[in-house]
Amino acid sequence: MSNQQDDLSALLKDSGETTIEGAMAKAEAAVNSLDSVTLNIALTGESGAGKSSLINAMRGLQEPEEGSAPTDVNECTMVPTKYPHPTMPNVILWDLPGIGTGLFKPDNYLEKVKYQNYDFFIIVSASRFKANDLMLAKEIKEKKKNFYFVRSKTDNDVTQNERKGVKEEETLRKIRENCVANLKELGPPPVFLITANDLQRFDFEKLRDNLEKDLPENKRNVLLLSLPVYSKECLDQKYNAFKITAWAVAIASGAIATAPVPGMSLACDVTMVVAFLTKCYFSFGLNDESLQKISKLAGKPMLEIVRESLVVKALADDSLATTIATKLSAAGVAESMCSLVPGAGSTAAAGISFVTTRSVLLEMVKELYSEAKKVLEMAGVE
């Protein structure tokens, strides 16, 4: 009995609720939000500024990879084009046509691109600051939407100036000052220097931080989890987000099945746990496609190392449900007769406690995190 009481206290504490019903409702909402919350991000700016290239970078794709946005030195994107994230289709990056191109004249540009549909705008600008950049920023602000000013292709400026003996910091300082001065009538402008060729370099991390801070709480994780793992910090933040959500999955996976003693001795819907860990696996870049890409870049066989992990191997060959059931069974010891019940949505029935499910989940997320960290280390990413 005391175990059950401890379990209930842990469940209420993690959820921050005072009743079991409240905790279950909150948990289900938290779990569902990862799939159902949509995030529409618009990238705008002049033709050739680097919008499509940044979209590809944010989706972890490189042209001419399947599903990537076409990029070119010539005018390229002619209609607003939707790029859902490859593994989180609820996160959509919109590649807008360059302002002033084709039918998209500056005077009614925002109406034409249906500005209402986007959560926020990223204005992409390369080389010299353009009158259209300021006009866009002003109009977006007037429409009460947030914008972030991205000065792209910073790598080019740094390289060119280095040839003339100008240090990187000096180049960055000058570009930043120029953008800030041009936008100053709009208040302290959110300016970020980036290169689509390497998100870890310059200000992309800061941009992500700012975007997240400005988003409503339910959309924050969705953005973070959709980005490729471009730095160790990014991986750590993703790990944190998954750890924080584990309580909700542990509760929600139990809420579906009929618990023998309501709220205390929970059953566990293994399908839901598998779905959560699958998200984690893709978000950490442990799927074959991501690994092959990073292996090629680093010239090292990453695939071999991560396949030593039981969880990664099970996710890769679709046998995770059985692995989880076995782990739950082992962890739940005497209280549980954990088995996969046919026809009940892979529900491991009979008294798996909340604390047990949560600890098994956390252990598996940690294993995936360690594998992803190894990959980054081998690839030389800091």
Least CB distance to ligand GTP at residue 65 (A): 14
Determine the Cα–Cα distance for residues 208 and 203; give it in Å rounded to an integer. Answer: 9
Report if residue 170 touches ligand GTP, rule: CB under 6 A. no
**Burial per residue of 344-375, b for 16 or more beta-carbon CB atoms within 10 angstroms, e otherwise:** bebbbbbbbbbbbbbbbbeebbebbbebbbeb
Least CB distance to ligand GTP at residue 165 (A): 21
Determine the Cα–Cα distance for residues 316 and 34; give it in Å rounded to an integer. Answer: 21
Query: Residue 154's closest CA among 61, 294, 293, 53?
Result: 53
Least CB distance to ligand GTP at residue 198 (A): 8
Q: Are 31 and 23 in contact (CB under 8 A)?
A: no
Q: Are 357 and 328 in contact (CB under 8 A)?
A: yes
* DSSP letters for 278-328: HHHHHHTT-SHHHHHHHHHHHTS-HHHHHTTSHHHHHHHTT-HHHHHHHHH
What does 155 bind: ligand GTP, Mg ion, none (CB cut-off 5 to 8 Å by kind)? ligand GTP
**Within 17-56, which residues bind Mg ion (CB under 5 A)?**
52
Tokens of 224: 């973070």
Determine the Cα–Cα distance for residues 382 and 379; give it in Å rounded to an integer. Answer: 9
Binding mask 102-141 for ligand GTP (x = CB under 6 A): ----------------------------------------
Least CB distance to Mg ion at residue 76 (A): 4
Check residue 266 and give left, alpha or beta (phi > 0: left; psi -120 to 50: alpha): beta
Report if residue 77 touches ligand GTP, rule: CB under 6 A. yes
Determine the Cα–Cα distance for residues 209 and 220; give it in Å rounded to an integer. Answer: 10
Among 15, 39, 85, 98, binds ligand GTP (CB under 6 A): 98
Report if residue 87 touches ligand GTP, rule: CB under 6 A. no
**Within 59-118, which residues bind Mg ion (CB under 5 A)?**
76-77
Least CB distance to ligand GTP at residue 212 (A): 22
Report if residue 152 touches ligand GTP, rule: CB under 6 A. yes
* Size, binding site for ligand GTP by CB under 6 A: 21
Among 6, 28, 155, 168, binds ligand GTP (CB under 6 A): 155
Least CB distance to ligand GTP at residue 12 (A): 49
Cβ neighbours of residue 2 under 8 Å, at least 6 residues apart? Answer: none
**Within 34-63, which residues bind ligand GTP (CB under 6 A)?**
47-53
Residue ranges in contact with ligand GTP by CB under 6 A:
47-53, 71-73, 75-77, 98, 152-153, 155-156, 195-197
Residue ranges in contact with Mg ion by CB under 5 A:
52, 76-77
